[in-house]
Chains A and B, each alone.
Chain A
Amino acid sequence: MDIGIVSFSGYVPVHRLPREVIGQAWGKQVRSGEKAIANWDEDSLTMAVQASLDALKGFQRQSVGALYFASLSPPYLEKQSASIIAKVLDLDPSAFTVDIANSARGGTLALRMAMDALKAGSAENILIASGDCRIPPPNSEMELNFGDGGAALLLGKKDVAVKINDCVSLTSEFMDVWRRDLDRYPQTWEDRFVIVEGYNVLLPKAISGLLKKVNAQPKDYRKVAVYGPDSRSLGALLRRMGFDPQTQFQTSLFDSVGTTGAAFSMMLLAQALEGAAPGDRILLAGYGDGADAFDLTVTEQIQKLAQGKKLGQYLRSKMTLSSYGRYLRFRNLMEWEAERRAPDKSSLTVLHRESSQILSLKGHQCKKCRTIQYPMQRICTQCQSQDQFEEILLSDRKGRIFTYSMDERAMVPDLPNILTIVDLEGGGRFYSVMTDRDPEKVAIDMPVELTFRKMHEGSGINNYFWKVRPVQG
């Protein structure tokens, strides 16, 4: 039985913070490159959603039997995120949801567990979604390295595009980077120790264990997607093991996105798979509390997968944060003058009662006159029929801006707040906010797509909903 990857995606948020800007903030010389910074309305959950939606395009949502969410920075420490993501994706309520938190190797841990579940017949398709939005200590080496991003892998047994042949896993109590619940920022030990005694020992052990198990040589692999805390350590490790970093690996993500925690190994894999050809052999490895190594083979099905190319699109669409202060604002890292306006508030009863509308973005289509309307209504806005509706999923639609305004006095971290009225393709009109945008470029008739974001934290709850963003790519 073939088990493997049926679809994959990588997500990079639109903003970039150049290392140079960080260097200016602290008055120090830094190496070149930039990192991706999640927008103020994004978090690990929303980025995992975006990657999942991209990976699920063209696939039946209802066929996903389990969802594993891997992250080092989940939005809640008590309260599962995977269950929220499952609702957003409109998975069947019987889907098995799990958060895999706390390990940098969360992505590959999830992959190993998904393989076992598929072999056991617990599900036909399993979605692994990951996202990380970690906050590194200001003026640290981590600050230059960490980036934000997400990735998703859809696994199954039919139409497999990347077969998972075998894997080796090792466990270790070794501590590289850690954070307790009372720590504001992650901590680390002396870099020399952490790399030499940890990374350089454990990861090669897993990889050579795998090579032995599948009887392969480094040169057998067309590409390697191997975790590294930085490009230099990774390059050195691969060279020592007999791989050729020039032909078998790309370090570009380190200097264009940064290391994205639990999502990183999956993003490296997504990058390796873009441009992969049938027959290519791929080595995937994750690291953190041990290591996992996987032997993969690309099949003919890879040619039918269009959605993988989105990582490239996300890498190309970028807006540079011009100042360190903007980064501080996005991540809410400083104390601000208290706003005198009434704070945002929420209601869990409303969020729950309307969860299909709010999270899944389902609207109504009138059975009598076929008018699509959002939010759901009791009385049709067009023909006034009562309760004659079908539910319709709207989250995967694109649209065009009918009108907009740019509010400079709204209480949001990034002004202006751009209100939009969007005509959705297929019908229906959506009143929303535009994000990931350059105010100079907003115009009537501009094509947009829906994106899942965090609106505010009223009442101590993460209030998620949908906005629109310019069509990517």
Chain B
Amino acid sequence: MESIKDKVAIVGMGCTSFGELWDKDADDLVVEATHDALKDAGVEIKDIQAAWLGTMERFTGATLSSPLQLQYIPVTRVENACATGYDALRNAAFAVAAKVYDLVLVVGLEKLKDHGFGGLPISLAADKWHPVYGSQATAPGRYAMAATRYFHRYGLSREEGKRMLAMISVKSHYNGARNPRAHLRREITVEEAMKAPIVAWPLGLYDCCGVTDGAAAAILCRTEDAKAFRKDYVTIKGIEIIVGPGQGKIRPDYDWTHWEETERAAQVVYKQAGIKNPRKEVDLVECHDCFSIAELIAVESMGLCPKGKAKEDIESGAWTQNGEIPVNLSGGLKSFGHPIGASGCREIFEIYKQIQGKAENPSRQLKNVRLGLAHNQGGHPGKFMCGVCVIGAP
């Protein structure tokens, strides 16, 4: 087996605005994200040799090739719950690294707001459908069980726990407010977050990410060819998906306070990328914060913060823009939004722009960004499919 490190480069990226895009359908999102990426790479659609589409709700490669009028090329539709974006990117990267194709397109897409109600359709629950077992569970209901257990395990009172989670959302909203493409661009306070209506105790309205439409796209080639497209290309240092055996609801030793799949995916990717001390070496982290507790446990599980110490770390400001590990500088799923298939690519878009010094809204630009870590996980506690990716300056 060989490492993927530095074999594949990203030479163009695009991203639509994320939000409740009532006037756009899935085709519009595909066209806009793709053409932004093509423009960024300085290539035309006819130069694309193969494409990968990551999306949960739509099927077949035609979802990509029809709106784009792709002329008879291979198109694969990929799905792995919220890790869809990384799985699409990863498969495209392997094809390029294997030298089967030279220039490929990845699009992450989700159009959720035609359903007619707030919240996720339950069908996207990434669990085996069953008439009665787990039948009325929701995503916030399941994640909230991790929060309850985390509070209990680390001796946090209800108030302390909710305050800790609120600070995460406040930080993400502050970032999102300064991101022109984000879905939710309003700052919130800790008090607002703590007093917000409960969605699934202990998670309140501001602990849950929005339901959003959006798409993001990337154009990949082998690193040795990247210079021909641009000087400031970015390379993939490590990328992996880990799918666990998914028995967390059945095994009595599942502790509900760490994400095993995330832990293992991060370890694999750190090894690929040659990262020994992630907290020091990684300049920013985009991670899966569908719920505030998801971000908290992900950061701990990726070894960026000692287990059980998130509260102190958050209170010290370590996860803010000026802190040691800026987490979700884009606003995260929380405030940028979470069109499921698109989020993986969108996280990479943020890091890509930061490395190039082109962060949208200069107030969010970090200095000397060399390495960024991105994380997504689909499913729910006990049954995750997790994608982790590190990209960096060549």
Contact = CB atoms under 8 A, between A and B. Distances in A.
A444 B202 CA distance: 14
Interface stretch (B35-43, B248-256, B265-273, B356-364): B248-256
A456 B136 contact: yes
A465 B146 CA distance: 24
A272 B83 CA distance: 62
A407 B200 contact: yes
Interface in A316-358: 340-342, 344-347, 350-351, 358
Contact of B141 (A351, A374, A407, A464): A407
Contacts of B121: 341-342
A403 B251 contact: no
A433 B136 contact: yes
B152 A403 contact: yes
Q: Give the interface size class of chain B.
A: 35 or more
A30 interface: no
Interface string B264-297: 0000000000000000000000000000000000
A340 B117 contact: yes
Interface centre among B131, B134, B149, B152 (most CB of A within 10 A): B131
A458 interface: yes
A306 B117 CA distance: 51
B130 interface: yes
Contact of B144 (A341, A407, A433): A407
A63 interface: no
A427 B145 contact: no
A373 B250 contact: yes
Nearest to B152: A444
Contacts of A289: none
A122 interface: no
Interface string B90-123: 0000000000000000000000000111010111
Contacts of B145: 403-405, 419, 421
B58 interface: no
Contact of B142 (A346, A405, A458): A405
Interface residues of A, number: 44
Contacts of A344: 135-136
B394 interface: no
A444 B250 contact: no
B148 A429 contact: no
A375 B133 contact: yes
A411 interface: yes
B69 interface: no
Given A407-B200, A421-B145, A345 B250 contact: no
Contacts of B142: 405, 419
A417 B137 CA distance: 8
A429 B252 contact: yes
Interface centre among A350, A428, A431 (most CB of B within 10 A): A431
A381 interface: yes
Interface of B: 115-117, 119, 121-123, 130-138, 140-149, 152, 197-203, 245, 247, 249-252, 254, 256
Contact of B256 (A381, A403, A456): A403
A341 B117 contact: yes
A382 interface: yes
19 contacts: A340-B115, A340-B116, A340-B117, A342-B122, A351-B131, A403-B145, A403-B152, A405-B200, A407-B137, A407-B141, A408-B197, A410-B138, A419-B137, A428-B252, A429-B254, A431-B133, A444-B152, A455-B131, A455-B135
A374 B123 CA distance: 23
A113 interface: no
A344 to B, nearest CB: 7
A423 interface: yes
A406 interface: yes
B207 to A, nearest CB: 12
Nearest to B253: A382
Contact of A455 (B115, B132, B138): B132
Given A341-B122, A407-B199, A429-B251, A417 B141 contact: yes
Nearest to B202: A405
Contacts of B152: 403, 444
Contacts of A177: none
A427 B132 CA distance: 22
A408 B149 contact: no
A409 B136 contact: no
B134 A431 contact: yes
Contact of A465 (B132, B197, B200): B132
Given A382-B251, A416-B200, 15 more contacts: A341-B122, A342-B121, A346-B131, A351-B131, A373-B247, A407-B138, A407-B141, A407-B200, A408-B201, A409-B119, A412-B136, A419-B137, A429-B251, A455-B132, A465-B133
A427 B136 CA distance: 25
A278 B269 CA distance: 75
Going nearest first, the 8 A-B pairs with the smallest beta carbon separation are: A405-B144, A465-B132, A407-B141, A406-B201, A403-B149, A407-B200, A381-B247, A346-B131
A419 B145 CA distance: 8
B123 A409 contact: no
Interface in A251-309: none
Nearest to A431: B249
B136 A421 contact: no
Contacts of A421: 145, 249, 256
A145 interface: no
B145 to A, nearest CB: 5
B249 A347 contact: no
A405 B201 contact: yes
